[in-house]
């Protein structure tokens, strides 16, 4: 692959407004310019056909896809997931674990630690999002209830020592979980409140302990009551909390998505898929956390009808969120990359199109379908033969 890629005939969405062309040099963005693109015989020219070039998507909450799951704990699973995500515009992701026994979680963490970084022909694995097991069994959603438990220092010290966890989802209403929240925050791990029945006050106490995000906001948390605003009330009003949202129109009504974006602004929302191994596969039976999942009509559920993750992809999430909010693609960019990069401490080189930043790019056509995906200068997906 040549190290120079020149994207032209495209709207380059930079924080300062639209530009006309972008040139990569190896792993980085070399130049962004207006007007006619430079005449560089060495560069591979990519015609954007009047579409959009924006920072590649970052998915911080995704269990699997295309038949693979983080809990498979194999390199093949992470590679298969990474290739599937690349086809949907994702250049970086956090492989997300399920609530499970200590050894199963450890296996998934060790596997991810061994596989960190660029996956062949796929997105780059940034680390793990540990979802559970320190959650509330009464708000477990599709997490297996048998393994839900209180934080245990010996257990999580072992997991944290693997240095692969970048985000955790935890229920803050149990005093035992406060030390875990503080231990994660001290290490720079994003602490996200989820699968929780905490009160508004307990949520704010967790913010004091270092919590900075809410997991699949609206889902599996205390809702908004005007005399008891709950975790949702804290999420909507506390600037310290950024809010994940599953923008599949099933987990959250489009009007509730629009409300979230109005309350938080585009700097305060993070689109995620929460996708499972069934994503990208045909309708039928699948699996999540050892449970049978039934996929039909775009919906993944357990036998009792509980939503079991999603089969959403990030490009579809962008189309859904645009329809729900009426905002421009440019306005939605932070929700799909910049905000996640900031949470993960990567905003100085990822999540925005700027000269010198990593060449993490997604090229979309005017209907917002993915044409090309680039991760650190690697062309990891092309909808057309190159």
Give the residue numbers annotated as catalytic, written as ranges: 274
Cβ-Cβ contacts under 8 Å for 118 (sequence gap 6 or more): 124, 375, 376, 378
Quick one: angle between helices 200-209 and 178-186, nearest 10?
40
Residue whose structure tokens are 């809702």: 223
Are 134 and 147 in contact by the 8 Å Cβ rule? The answer is: no
As to burial, measured by CB atoms within 10 angstroms (0-12 exposed, 13-18 middle, 19+ buried), residue 262 is: exposed
Are 324 and 257 in contact by the 8 Å Cβ rule? The answer is: yes
Are 351 and 337 in contact by the 8 Å Cβ rule? The answer is: yes
Q: In sequence order, what are the beta bridge partners of 96?
A: 129
Q: Where are the alpha helices (DSSP H) in the chain?
A: 75-86, 102-115, 153-160, 178-186, 200-209, 230-237, 254-264, 314-325, 329-333, 339-343
Residue whose structure tokens are 């035992």: 176
Cα angle 216, 218, 222; round to 5: 115
Are 261 and 325 in contact by the 8 Å Cβ rule? The answer is: yes
Q: Where are the alpha helices (DSSP H) in 176-313?
A: 178-186, 200-209, 230-237, 254-264
* Side-chain-facing half-sphere of 170: CA atoms under 13 Å: 32
């Amino acid at each position: 692959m040549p190290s120079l890629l020149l994207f032209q005939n495209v709207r380059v969405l930079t924080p300062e407004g639209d530009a006309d062309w972008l040139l990569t040099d190896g792993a980085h963005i070399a130049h962004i310019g207006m007007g006619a693109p430079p005449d560089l015989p060495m560069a591979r020219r990519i015609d954007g056909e009047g579409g959009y070039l924006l920072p590649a998507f970052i998915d911080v909450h995704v269990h699997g896809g295309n038949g693979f799951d983080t809990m498979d704990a194999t390199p093949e699973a992470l590679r298969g997931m990474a290739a599937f995500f690349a086809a949907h515009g994702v250049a970086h992701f956090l492989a997300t674990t399920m609530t499970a026994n200590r050894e199963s979680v450890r296996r998934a963490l060790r596997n991810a630690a061994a596989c960190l970084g660029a996956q062949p022909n796929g997105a780059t694995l940034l680390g793990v999002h540990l979802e559970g097991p320190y959650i509330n069994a009464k708000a477990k959603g599709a997490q297996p209830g048998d393994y839900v438990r209180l934080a245990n220092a010996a257990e999580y010290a072992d997991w944290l020592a693997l240095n692969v966890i970048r985000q955790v989802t935890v229920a803050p209403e149990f005093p035992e979980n406060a030390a875990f929240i503080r231990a994660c925050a001290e290490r720079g791990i994003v602490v996200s409140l989820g699968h929780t029945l905490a009160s508004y006050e307990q949520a704010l106490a967790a913010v004091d302990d270092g919590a900075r995000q809410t997991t699949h906001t609206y889902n599996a948390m205390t809702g908004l009551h005007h005399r008891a605003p709950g975790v949702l009330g804290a999420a909507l009003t506390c600037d310290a909390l950024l809010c994940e949202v599953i923008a599949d129109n099933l987990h959250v009504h489009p009007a509730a998505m629009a409300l979230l974006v109005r309350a938080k602004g585009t700097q305060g929302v993070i689109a995620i898929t929460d996708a499972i191994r069934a994503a990208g596969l045909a309708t039928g039976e699948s699996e999540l956390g050892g449970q049978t999942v039934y996929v039909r009509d775009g919906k993944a559920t357990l036998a009792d009808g509980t939503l079991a993750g999603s089969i959403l992809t990030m490009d579809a999430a962008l189309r859904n969120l645009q329809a729900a909010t009426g905002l421009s693609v440019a306005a939605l960019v932070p929700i799909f990359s910049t905000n996640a990069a900031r949470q993960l401490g990567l905003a100085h080189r990822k999540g925005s199109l700027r000269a010198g930043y990593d060449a993490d790019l997604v090229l979309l056509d005017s209907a917002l379908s993915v044409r090309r995906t680039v991760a650190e200068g690697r062309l990891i997906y092309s909808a057309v033969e190159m």
